[in-house]
Amino acid sequence: MATLYLTARRFAKADYVKALSADGEAYRFRQRPRATAPSRSSEKEEFMAIDAKVMPEQRLRALTECIKNKGFARILETHSGLSGIVAENAAIEHEGSRLEFDGFWESSLTDSATKGFPDASIVGNDSRVHTIDEILNVTSKPIVVDGDTGGDPAQFRYLVRHLERLGVSAVIIEDKVYPKRNSLDASASQSLEDPEVFANKIRAGREVRATEEFMVIARLESLIAGVGLQDALERAEQYIVAGADGIMIHTSKRDPEEILEFAKAYEPLCARLGRRPVLVSVPTTYNSISDTELVANGFNVIIHANHMLRASHKAMKEIAQTILESNRSLEADPLITSTAEIFATVGFDLVTERDRETSQVQRLSAIIPAAGKDAAFPDAPKSLIPIAGRPVIDYQLEAISKAGMNQIVVVRGHEGLQFDTRPTDEKITFCENPNYEDTFDLFSLFQADKYMQRGFVLIYSDILFDQDILQRLIDTDEDIVLALDGSYQYHRHEIEKRLDLAVSANRRESHHRSLQPPALMEIARLGKNIDREAAEFEFVGLAYFSERGAEALRRAYYECQRTAAGPFHEAALFKMASITDLLQELINRDVAVHGLEIHKGWLEIHNQKDVAVAEREVLSLVSAESAAD
């Protein structure tokens, strides 16, 4: 304790001012390595609870270490796991350093209020410990627990043992009589405990602790009870003599004057006693004073004691009102956190990421190249063409998620910003193809290269399809499988558009009379320039690539990118190639590219006529479904 006294003393006065001259200079001390590296986008930079590898003893000690190193600790109230995560991650850039809270306050007021109870010794220790454990579970910084009166010495002993074992750094008990009333209500009765009885409780608590670092802090309620500064100082002396590791002086006044007077008198008192326990303030009412000023006046722990709870209460009231007033929740959207951010905050993303690693289907990405501009729909990406009131991509997302995939990647280009109007909680990863005017779908696809590597499903942006087709493609044992529509050959004379056509390796004559079930076949030729009479199939725009298939595709792409000069299959240049060109390249290199024949369950949107057909289909499906219900 002597060391702590010296260190705290050393920092307590003029040196604090010097250390904090630029209001934050002292923070340089604390470039604490994070328990886990922040991952992915800034919105998702939240602390991932499951990866927090801080053991109870380490956390326990961190508070004294923090006070030793920089002279003080700035503490924020938390009342739940979620508020703990937010408090843990709160940070600003301050003069080139990262400024964060140093730990958390587990408050009796806010723990009770979260449960809808008054702060009047109603919520018991078991329940409090449950909340504390919740916070410990998802955070890594030190916790200071509000121990109320501590109960009788026997109860306090058990509380100290329990909190210390959990890794809590300090417990603060107040010198009032059980059952206590919250200190901030001036009309409440505030009966003070006999100081000697309270001093014995401090002794009892300190006796049972297993480590030197666990702090038992005595909270003076003299100013709350209106018995004055002198009483506070006398009690402070008794508690210091009893071994208190810290002294908290509290007031409900708005003016910090009394608190500062106490702090001034505290130094000579400690000097006389030869020991200076840390000095703690809770500036809820006297909050015009800054943390820096409090530190400059000798305070070592500053607790912002209830702000997270009060903030959430205000926000909840506002949102409930807004939904009632608006008769729906749309107006509430800008006032609330997106579900995607909540998912990232509490580590749900990590769960799904790990699911993806273990599940064959979930490992796959669904990649939708949607960068190109189509003359028939010049004003928007084709993904956003509305069909019966919903954009094409909505139907695609539904089918993709029904097939069990949740990594969805859209490559955008033409009118790409229009995707920003999508719901914020939708989980689409966007890649950009800024060269969409000079390139085609192959170049777009490879903007999503890093999402291709564990296997993927390619989905053209202008098709509606049944999820069964996706499922069947994925279920094949082949590495590259394209969905091919065999009905093309019956309609070929009616179709005017330039389609992606395919010829199988074992061309089946009189195919339409075959009794064989639809089967997988190897593809020999693929492209738009295939003679219409020779072509048997139309490529639907849905294809599956296993990890190996994706690897073969990527290898060919990067080799051709390096070596291809002049025309590349049907393209004038490699840079302007289509996906089918690269697939033809694979076939020529003896990589098996398979086709899975389908007859129904998809529609392509090439022009306004297709939109009308799609709308009729969608609406008839909807009415068939509701008739079946």
Count of residues that interact with Mg ion, criterion CB under 5 A: 3
114 contacts ligand SPV (rule: CB under 6 A): no
Report the nearest approach of Mg ion to the CB of residue 307 (Å): 14
- CB nearer to Mg ion: pick between 110 and 433: 110
Number of residues engaging ligand SPV in binding (CB under 6 A): 12
Helix ranges restricted to H, 492-607: 547-563, 579-588
Q: How many C-alpha atoms does 59 have within 13 Å on its Cβ side?
A: 27
Tell whether residue 184 is a contact of ligand SPV (CB under 6 A): yes
For ligand SPV, the binding residue among 108, 139, 222, 383 (CB under 6 A) is 108
111, 119, 349, 500: which one is catalytic?
Answer: 119
Binding mask 283-322 for ligand SPV (x = CB under 6 A): -x--------------------xx----------------
Q: Which DSSP helix (H) or strand (E) runs through 164? A: helix 153-166
Q: Which of residues 131-150 bind ligand SPV (CB under 6 A)?
A: 146
Render 343-371 in DSSP notation, one character per residue. HHHTTHHHHHHHHHHH-TTTT-EEEEEE-
Angle between helices 547-563 and 579-588 (to 10 degrees): 100
Nearest CB to Mg ion, comparing residues 219 and 525: 219
Looking at the Cβ atoms of 173 and 484, the one nearer to Mg ion is 173
Minimal distance in Å, beta carbon 119 to Mg ion?
A: 6
Q: Is 83 in the site for ligand SPV (CB under 6 A)?
A: no
Q: How far apart are CA 63 and CA 72, in angstroms?
A: 9
281 binds ligand SPV (CB under 6 A): no
Amino acid 97 reads S
Least distance (Å) between residue 206 CB and ligand SPV: 21
CB of 144 to ligand SPV, least distance (A): 10
Among 146, 221, 462, 466, binds Mg ion (CB under 5 A): 146
SS3 letters across 40-88 = CCHHHCCCCHHHCCCCHHHHHHHHHHHHHHHCCEEEEEECCHHHHHHHH
Burial (CB count within 10 angstroms: exposed 0-12, middle 13-18, buried 19+), residue 127? middle
Q: Which of the ranges 26-34, 101-109, 288-296, 561-569 carries the binding residues for ligand SPV, by CB under 6 A? A: 101-109
Pairing of strands 456-459, 463-465: unpaired
Q: Which is nearer to Mg ion, 182 or 578 (CB)?
A: 182
- Between the alpha carbon of residue 414 and those of residues 57, 386, 459, the distances in Å are 56, 17, 17
Check residue 110 for interaction with Mg ion (CB under 5 A): no
610 included as an active-site residue: no
Q: Is 108 one of the binding residues for Mg ion (CB under 5 A)?
A: yes
CA distance 549 to 562: 20
End-to-end CA distance of the chain: 74
Residue type, 345: T
Measured CA to CA, the distance from residue 432 to residue 414 in angstroms comes to 10
- Could you say which of Mg ion, ligand SPV, none residue 149 binds, taking C-beta under 5 to 8 angstroms by partner kind? none
How far is it, in rounded angstroms, from Cα 178 to Cα 121? 7
Indicate which of ligand SPV, Mg ion, none lies near residue 169 (CB less than 5 to 8 Å, by partner kind): none
Binding-site partner at residue 284 among ligand SPV, Mg ion, none, CB < 5 to 8 Å by type: ligand SPV
d(CA 382, CA 393): 9
**Minimum CB distance to ligand SPV smaller for 114 or for 284:** 284
Distances (CA, A) of 75 to 3, 82, 103, 304, 310: 22, 16, 5, 6, 16
**DSSP letter string over 469-495?**
HHHHHHHSS-SEEEEEETTHHHHTTT-
Stretch that binds ligand SPV, among 35-43, 65-73, 106-114, 429-437 (CB under 6 A): 106-114
Q: Does 251 participate in binding ligand SPV (rule CB under 6 A)?
A: no
Interface segment toward ligand SPV; rule CB under 6 A; list 8-16, 103-111, 273-281, 504-512: 103-111
The CB-of-136 to Mg ion minimum distance in angstroms stands at 19
Alpha helices in 360-515 (DSSP H): 392-402, 441-445, 449-452, 467-475, 488-491
Q: What kind and span of H or E run contains 110?
A: helix 108-114
Residue 184 binds: one of ligand SPV, Mg ion, none (C-beta under 5 to 8 A by kind): ligand SPV
282 binding ligand SPV? (CB under 6 A): yes
Contact positions toward Mg ion, by CB under 5 A? 108-109, 146
Tell me which residues are annotated as active site: 119
Contact positions toward ligand SPV, by CB under 6 A? 107-109, 119, 146, 182-184, 282, 284, 305-306
